[in-house]
Amino acid sequence: MGLTNLKRIRPILLTGKTGTGKSTKAKTFVSDNPVVFYANDIGYDIGSVSIDRGIIIEDIHIKPSKEEILLILRTYQGQVVITSINEKDVPKTIMAMCQIKRAGSTNYLEEQIKTVAPRSEKPSSLERNSFDLMKQFLKCRDRDKVRELLHFNKPKDYSILSYLTANINIPPRITFIDGIVKRKWHISYFYDLLAYSFSGHLMGRINTPQWTPYPSRVPYLSRKLGVKEPKVLHQLLEDEDFRTWARTKLNNSDSRLLKLGEKKKRKKKKPITIKQKSIFEYGENKNEV
C-alpha cells in the first residue's frame, strides 16, 4: 500500500465564545475517552495514543505551542479537534490544515446562571481591540464609559490620534492634547482629557488609518555582507563560521535583526596612571634607601 492510499482525517477547528459549549461539542467528534491537551502545555508523546481515541486541543488562542501542535496534525492518523474563542488568534499554518466549524451562538453558561439568579445582568467585558475601542470613542455619548475603556485598555497615543485624524476634523482640544499633553503629562491625564474632548456624535462609517510599512533592512545588510540575494543570505547564516564572520561586520542592532545574537562588549579597563615624581621626592626616597 502506497502513501497516497492512506486515509487522512482532516482536523476540526471549533470556534465559539466562552460558554457556548465548545468542549462538549468537541467530544462528539471523538470517542468517549479522548486525550485532552491545552495548547500552551502539551509535552506528551502522541505515539502511544490510539487512533480510535482521538485528541482534543483546548484554547489554542492562548500562547499555543505551535511546533508541537503542527507535529500532532502531521503525524496523528486519528481525529484531532481544536477549540478557540475566535479565528484571528489561531496561527495561519494551523488554521489552513483544519476544517472550521462553529460551536453556535447559544451561551449555556449564561442560561445556567439565569436559573440560579434570574435578575442578574448580562456580563460585559471591557476588553476592546483598536477598532472597537475607536468605535466606542466616536459613537458613544456616555463619555464616562469611554474614559473607563481608555483606562482599562491603555491604547497607544499615536494609535488613537491616527484614528481620529482619519475620521473627524480635529477640534482645538485634541490639538492641545496632541501638541502639549502627549508624553509630557501622565498617561491618565491624557486619557481623561481625550475622553471628554469629543461628544461621540459620529454617524457615518469609521475609516481605518493607512500606515506606510517600514522598508526592510535585510536587502541592505545582504549587500553589505557581499551577498546579492537575501534568500541566499538566510541559507548562509545557517553556517556557524559565516555567522561569526557576519557578526564582526555588523553593529548590535543589525545583529539582532538577523538573529545573530549580541556582540560581546569589551570590558572597560582601568587606565594605567604613572605618577610623575618630582626631583625632591626622588631625592627623599634615595636618602631613605
Cβ count near 277 (within 10 Å): 11
Residue pointed to by grid coordinates 545574537? 261
The gap from C-alpha 169 to its chain's centroid, in whole angstroms, comes to 32
Residues 183-206 have a mean pLDDT of 84
Instruction: Give the confidence band of 262 by pLDDT, cuts at 50, 70, 90.
Output: confident
- Residues 12-36 have a mean pLDDT of 88
C-alpha to C-alpha distance for 22 and 238, rounded to whole angstroms: 42
What pLDDT is attached to residue 147?
92
What's the rounded Cα separation, in Å, for the pair 60 and 186? Answer: 36
Band of residue 279 on the pLDDT scale cut at 50, 70, 90: low
- Write down the domain spans for the chain: 9-108, 130-195, 218-257
Taking 80 as the threshold, does the pLDDT of residue 268 lie above it? no
Does pLDDT of 249 surpass 50? yes
pLDDT digits (tens, 9 = 90+) for 106-141: 777 777 888 888 887 777 778 888 888 888 888 889
What pLDDT is stored for residue 144 in this prediction? 92
The predicted model gives 18-33 an average pLDDT of 87
Question: Is the torsion defined by CA of 71, 73, 74, 76 positive or negative?
Answer: positive
Assign 280 a pLDDT band (cuts: 50, 70, 90): low
Q: Does the pLDDT of residue 213 top 90, yes or no? A: no
Return the CA Rg of the chain.
Answer: 31
Q: Which of 222, 244, 242, 249 is nearest to 233 (CA)?
A: 222
CA–CA separation, 23 vs 49, rounded Å? 20
**Cβ-count burial 3-25 (b if 16+ within 10 Å, e if not):** eeeeeeeebbbbbbeebbebbeb
Q: What is the pLDDT of residue 284?
A: 59
Q: Is the pLDDT score of 159 beyond 60?
A: yes
So what's the architecture of 9-108 in CATH? 3-Layer(aba) Sandwich (3.40)
What pTM was computed for the model?
Answer: 0.48
Judge whether residue 82 has pLDDT over 90: yes
Amino acid 151: pLDDT? 92
Write down the pLDDT at residue 148.
92
The dihedral through the CA atoms of 95, 99, 100, 103 has a sign that is negative
Instruction: Read off the C-alpha cell for 183.
Output: 508624553
Residue 275 amino acid letter:
K
Residue 218 has pLDDT above 80, yes or no: yes
Handedness of CA 193, 182, 188, 134 (dihedral sign): positive
Q: What is the mean pLDDT of the chain?
A: 82
Could you give the percent of the chain with pLDDT greater than 70?
90
* pLDDT higher than 70, residue 10: yes
- Taking the alpha carbons at both ends of the chain, their separation in whole angstroms is 100
Asked if residue 66 lies in contact with residue 93, where contact means CB atoms within 8 angstroms, the answer is yes
97-111, 132-146, 232-246, 271-285: the lowest-pLDDT one = 271-285
Q: Which residues, other chains included, contact 242 with Cβ-Cβ below 8 Å and sequence gap of 6+?
A: 236
Query: Residues with Cβ < 8 Å from 120, sequence gap 6 or more?
Result: 113, 114
282 pLDDT higher than 80: no
Tens digits of per-residue pLDDT, 27-39?
A: 889 988 888 889 8
Q: Assess whether pLDDT exceeds 90 at residue 162.
A: no
Stretch 42-58: mean pLDDT: 84
State residue 1's pLDDT score.
44
Number of H helices, E strands in the chain: 14, 5
Q: How far apart are CA 61 and CA 145, in angstroms?
A: 28
Residue 146 CA from chain centroid, whole number: 25
> CB of 39 within 8 A of CB of 65?
yes
The residue with greater pLDDT, 219 or 177, is 219
